[in-house]
């Protein structure tokens, strides 16, 4: 999985909401084809933004509390958290350029 670490419901508060950097959360599942399409794109972006943004993955089948709390109804959903708040939410597989454009608004290149 490269630089993207899995996160659980139990770790979400400390890993995501209390982070001092922006956090990109990939809500995904094993059976989700579009999730598998976007995973390598997120891994590339995790390397590019390694010092500015934290990237994590949350398996919605194994961790049901957090997706319910953040109203994740479709996957892949990519939420960006800053200061414990969702500032961006992207639903569905997107090309690298589209995701990067969304992230560049948060972090200067």
Active site residue 28: no
Measure the CA–CA gap between 81 and 44, rounded to whole angstroms. 19
Which residues, at least 6 apart from 64, have a Cβ–Cβ distance to it below 8 Å?
A: 9
Residue 74 has, within 13 A of its CA and on its CB side, a CA count of 6
Active site residue 35: yes
Distance of CA 11 to the CA centre of its chain: 14
Q: Which of 7, 25, 35, 60 is labelled catalytic?
A: 35
Q: Which of 4, 7, 24, 32 is labelled catalytic?
A: 32
- Find residue 18's DSSP bridge partners: none
Active site (catalytic) residues = 32, 35
């Amino acid at each position: 999985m490269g630089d993207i670490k899995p996160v659980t419901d139990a770790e979400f508060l400390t890993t995501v909401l209390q982070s001092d950097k922006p956090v990109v959360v990939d809500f995904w599942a094993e059976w989700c084809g579009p999730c598998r399409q976007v995973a390598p794109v997120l891994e590339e972006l995790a390397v590019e933004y390694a010092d500015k943004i934290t990237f994590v993955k949350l398996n919605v089948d194994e961790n049901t509390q957090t997706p319910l709390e953040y109203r994740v109804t479709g996957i892949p959903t990519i939420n960006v958290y800053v200061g414990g708040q969702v500032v961006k939410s992207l639903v569905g597989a997107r090309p690298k350029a589209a995701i990067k454009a969304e992230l560049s608004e948060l972090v200067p290149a």
